[in-house]
Structure formats: C-alpha cells, structure tokens
Structure 1
Amino acid sequence: AASKPAAAETQSKAVARDTSAKTTAPPSAQERVVAGHRDLFSHLQPRNQNLEEDLLLSKVALGMSGAAQVPPVVWELGIKYASGKITGGSARTLGMLKMLKEVIADYKTPPQKTLSRDLTGRITAIITFIKDCRPMTASMGNAVRWLKMQVAALGQSEMPEAEAKASLVNAIEGYMQDRILFANSVICTHAVSKIADGDVVLTYAYSEVVKDSLIAAHKKGISFRVVVVNSRPKNEGRALLQELLACGLTCSYVHIRVLSYIMSEVTKVFLGAEAVTANGSVKSRVGTAAVAMVAHEWNIPVMICCETCKFIDKVLLDSICQNELGDPKELGMASEEHAAAGVHTVNLIYDVMPAEYITMIITEVGMIPATSVPVILREYRREPTM
C-alpha cells in the first residue's frame, strides 16, 4: 500500500519533466531565421507608428526624454520630422538651425548659472527630443557639434548675455548661408559644367541640389534629356519629375526594375547623398547603391552632389550598422498574415554605396575623388567648424 503513493509521485515527476522538456524545446529553423533577422536590426531605433499622435498628447510627450524643457517651436518641428512633412538632409538641418536660433534668442540664463553650461544642457535636451522624433542626419549632427563648440567658446569670455546670444544667432545664420545655401549654389555651378549638349542624365529619387543643377543647366541653354528613376515605397521621383517638367526639361520616367535596360541610353549619372564617410562611401536613399552599381558596370560616370557639411569622420562598410527604419507598412507586406507566418518586414531608409562606384564627388570646395574625403575632413578639423 505504501508503494502505490510512491509510484504515483514518481509518475507525476516524470510527467512534469516531460512537460518542461516540451516547453523548452529548441526553436524551429524558421523561428531561428526570424529571430536572427530581428537581432540583425535590433540596434536601430524602432519606429513609433503613433509618434505624431503621441506628440500631440502632452501627458505622453512630457514623459519623453527632456521634453519638459522643450519649447513649443521644438514640438512643432519634431511633429514635422515625425510626420515626414520636412524631409531631406539639407531641409532638416536648416529647419533645426532656424529652431535653435529662436531658442537662443528667447533664452535667459537662470540665477546662479553660467550661460555656456546651462545653454549646452538646454540644447542637449532639445536634440534628444528631436532624436526621439526621428534619427538625425549626418549634417544635423555636424551642425549640433559645431554649435556646442561655439557655446563652449563663450565660457572662456566675459561677454554680456545679450551680446553672447546675438553672437550665436549671427554664427548660426552664417553657418546656414556658407555651409548649406551658398554651398548648394556653388555645387550647381560645378555640376552644370559637367553637362553637355546631347547628354542623357540619369538621377534617382529626389535630391534638391541635383534638381537645382539640372534646372540651372537647362536655363543655361544646354540641350539634354533627364531620366528620372523611381522606386517604392517613397516614390520621390514623381515629385522630381513634376518639378523638372514644370521648368521645361525633357524627361523620361522609369522604375528601378528596368534600370539595366535604360542605362544603355545614359551618358552621366547625378545622385544626391545623405552622408559621405571617411572611406569614401556614400550613404543615400535606399536604391542609390544599385543605380551606381549598374552605371559602374556600363562604364558610365557617377557624380555625387554633396555639401561638405555632410562629410563624417566615420567608416561605413555596409548599410546595417548605421541606418534608419521606416514604416514596414509602406512596403505592403506588414500584415497579420505575414506576421503569423513568421515574416519579419524591415523597411530600411538608406543604403551605402562603395567608393569604387563613384567617379567624383561635387562639393562647394571643388570636384574631388572619393579617396580625397579624408583630406577635406582634415582641413575642416583645423577650422573648428565640424
């Protein structure tokens, strides 16, 4: 009689071990692949699908990093970044600098604090909020570092507060004019010199400086044709096509899937950039690297129009380490059926173009090969502007 309870207890332990073994069973091959894909991009900032709505709710926004110190003008800019109303590296940098001008103009140093230290902390909180809305571009990061250096330099002087704020506002205005606006006009001049009668110029997606260069060449009387290559999910090439046609340019419009077919007619390729790295690689809208690769195979020169404020002292070998995640629903694959099937959709915003695909980089300091990027970085490092 005593052996029956012991046998029952032994049987229950065996069942418990069997149940535990079932719950800790190794994942299937499909589950391992999906988990690997998620881990591959887990270091990138996930996109908040309801960020714009959250920003409009004060209780939610005040819980964000440093948002309690964020002025209304910063909130408005953050909402425009999050909703995509302001896109493009130069446009976003200009918007951020204009916002910082207003913040500095309205700033007042609290009692028992110094302007340089307190203003630096205020700028840091604002930039953290902007990053929460959307990751910053390379030119935005360079501009913020430059501005903090300017603020830190004020700590070594005994300048009155009003004079110090006026000095910073003037410095920001000078940065905007010299490093972005004037740089764009100089780049356009250089780019026009590379366009000749009879050329067929191919461009991809939408780049403000490339658009201005093509329009400037048309106004100069150069007879050429433009091929606008477009791709999902942004379809930015449509906006570029409409603006070029409105200015009277002769254009063709193709999808990136027929790139290899249309490339036989092309004589030059002009592309924009989000960043240029120290090893000569170019980070730009996803799909740009494919355009440059096909052009390289056809021995067609690839010219990158980019301001030096987008040059960064980093090395990129792929588009995984540093990138930005877009809305996966834009790809038309982020459905519940795909999620149930184990399909993990990733919408990368940028890709990286190797230096060997680039013929030259057109900047405001001249037309340089990709191998000369470290020289530009070194020269600007001597002048505390980057």
Structure 2
Amino acid sequence: MVGLQYLSGDISGGNARCIAMLQAFQDAIKDYAVPPEKTLVRDLTAKISSYVSFLIECRPLSISMGNAIRFLKSRITKLPPTLSESESKTSLQSDIEHFINEKIILANKVIVNHAVTKIRDGDVLLTYGSSSAVEMILLHAHELGKQFRVVVVDSRPRLQGKVLLRRLVEKGLSCTYTHVNAVSYIMHEVTRVFLGASSVLSNGTVYSGVGTACVAMVAHVYHVPVIVCCEAYKFHERVQLDSICSNELGDPDVISKVPGREDVNLLDAWANTENLQLLNLMYDATPSDYVSMIVTDYGMIPPTSVPVVVREYSREQVWM
C-alpha cells in the first residue's frame, strides 16, 4: 500500500516517505511470526529486504530512507539471543518509534529553533519548492510576530510550491509567487534564501529537488546568504560532484505538457520521433561553494563541517 502511494505521488517529501515506510515496517514486525526451524534475526532481515525491494520497484529510495533501513537492520542484528520472540518484536517497534520521534520530529523542532534566529524584521525570505522544515520555520517566525515577506519560487512539472504557498497564505503570511525562470529578477529584493534538502553529502554537496542548485547559484551571484535546513539522518558519507551519476528519473510525458494549455501540443507524439529523448530529472546537486550555512539538529554548521556530523551520527547509531 505504501509503495503504491509513493508511485502515485500521494506520499511525497523525504520525511513523509521515511515515516510512512518505518510505520509500515512497524506493522509488518507486529504481524510477523518466526517460521519453524528459522531464527528471527536472519528471517526478519530477509523479510525486510523483500519489502525494500518492492518499495524500490515502486519508486527509488531516497538517501534518508536508505539510512533508516540500515538503522533498522542493525537493530535486528543486535537483538540479544536471550530475548523471546515477542520481546524482540516489541524492542524493534520501540526502536522504530524512537527513530521517528527523535531523528525526524524532534530534529525538525531543533532546526526550527536554530533557523528562526536568522530571520529579522523586514527580511524578504526566498524558498524553492516545498520543504516541510522550511515551512515550519516560516510559520514559527510568523507566530513569534516577526515581520517579513516570503518569495515562493516554483517550477514545472511538479509545481510543489503551490502547496506551500497555499498553507502560508492561509496562516496570514505575506507572499509572492513566481517561477524559477524569474529568480534572477526577484533576487535583488531577497535578504536570505532558505532551502530544504533531500540529503547532504560528505563533501558538503546538497542533494535536493531539481532547480535548487539554480536558485542557490543565482543567490550566490547576488551575495544573498543561502541557508540549507536538513536533519542529520539525511546526511550521507557518499561524495558526489554532479547530479548525473546518481539520480531519479521522473515520467518524461509530464514535461511534454503544460497544465491548462491544451494548445501546447508540439511534443504529444515525441516517443515516435527518432533521435529525441525527454529527460525529467528529480534531483540536482548544489556545490558547497553556494551554501552559506547548513542548519541541522546538531546546530548551525558550515558545509566544511559535514564530515564531522556524518562521523558523529554514525557513532551515535552504533551505540544506540
């Protein structure tokens, strides 16, 4: 069910996808029974791997989901052999609940408290797409009575910024909405850029929704600080210099159409056209040079300090 919701787009966003997956694992563990002549550790690990394979068939895993899966498998392998089956299952369900509450929910609250100190009265804050962490920061700053304006930059084909815009306007925030092609025009008004991230890699590269790198580079040219908000569980030891060697491909048909413009149909039969391919990338990589600060649940750090967080987070998971 969760995999099909990933496929249809009903569940999207790094945190939402990870929480839904972990809760599905909780339910699976609750219903699990060790087969005769098999051990819980080996058989349950194989079961989890089969569930992961199904999720990958529906949609490739995000880096944060991969980290959560590694955490769960490590907890399974570390189960004391003296525990009964029911005690082992209860322990794993508790570990998953602890991960969701501490590494995702509480981490977001810590990030909000850090990031909101960077918002001052009179600021014009720009964000791209729709990030749950950035949304929480903007709403909290508004609740504190800070006077600022938000510029929501969006792009086809997903137009995720519309969802964020609707929520902010409903809460009474002053907003401007534009598409990414106008980002260089609007940037001269902006005082700070707040961006979400799918992952932060070991060399400080920010892996996020396609278009993020473009926004960060334009901000850099205009000398506008770029603040990336990302939970530590999304950090990864991998090093990546571009977004081509590892990415997720979206449906090519969606970029051949313009919503609400049926007269724009020049690419309707593109699949029958020889030597033509449509490329719909889901993510891009923003070099660390274009990032001023990364706000995490470990505090506010420069991109050069990412390897320290990766090391400390890994050590923390080993001893949990």
Structure-1-length-normalised TM-score: 0.79
CA distance in 2, matches of 1:337, 1:139: 35
Q: Which residue of 1 aligns with 2:43?
A: 118
1:364 is matched with which residue: 294, 297, 305? 297
- Equivalences for 1:243-262 in 2 at 5 Å? 243-262=167-186
- Equivalences for 1:210-359 in 2 at 5 Å? 210-332=134-256, 335-337=268-270, 339-359=272-292
- Equivalences for 1:50-89 in 2 at 5 Å? 76-89=1-14
CA distance in 2, matches of 1:198, 1:185: 24
CA distance in 2, matches of 1:231, 1:384: 37
1:145 is matched with which residue: 40, 52, 70? 70
- Equivalences for 1:179-198 in 2 at 5 Å? 179-198=103-122
CA distance in 1, matches of 2:83, 2:295: 40
Cα drift, residue 376 of structure 1:
0.7
CA distance in 2, matches of 1:170, 1:384: 15
1:52-100 deviation digits (Å, cap 9, x = unpaired) = xxxxxxxxxxxxxxxxxxxxxxxx1111000000000000000000000
Q: Which residue of 1 aligns with 2:308?
A: 375
CA distance in 1, matches of 2:30, 2:6: 22
Tell me, what secondary structure is at the counterpart of 1:309?
helix
Tell me, what secondary structure is at the counterpart of 1:383?
helix
Q: Which residue of 2 aligns with 1:161?
A: 85
CA distance in 2, matches of 1:293, 1:162: 53
Tell me, what secondary structure is at the counterpart of 2:177?
strand
Structure 1: segments with no counterpart, 5+ residues:
1-75
CA distance in 2, matches of 1:159, 1:229: 52
1:258-288 deviation digits (Å, cap 9, x = unpaired) = 1111000000000000010000000100000
Q: Which residue of 2 aligns with 1:9?
A: none
Cα drift, residue 339 of structure 1:
3.8
CA distance in 2, matches of 1:366, 1:139: 19
Q: Which residue of 2 aligns with 1:7?
A: none
CA distance in 2, matches of 1:168, 1:109: 14
- Equivalences for 1:189-208 in 2 at 5 Å? 189-208=113-132
Cα drift, residue 127 of structure 1:
0.4
Cα drift, residue 337 of structure 1:
4.3
Letter of the 1:260 counterpart: S
CA distance in 1, matches of 2:268, 2:199: 33
Q: Which protein has the bigger strand share?
A: 2
Runs of 4+ aligned residues of structure 1 deviating over 3 Å after TM superposition are none
RMSD: 1.2
Between the two proteins, the alignment pairs up a number of residues equal to 310
CA distance in 1, matches of 2:14, 2:89: 26
Q: Which residue of 1 aligns with 2:30?
A: 105
Cα drift, residue 255 of structure 1:
1.1
CA distance in 1, matches of 2:115, 2:317: 28
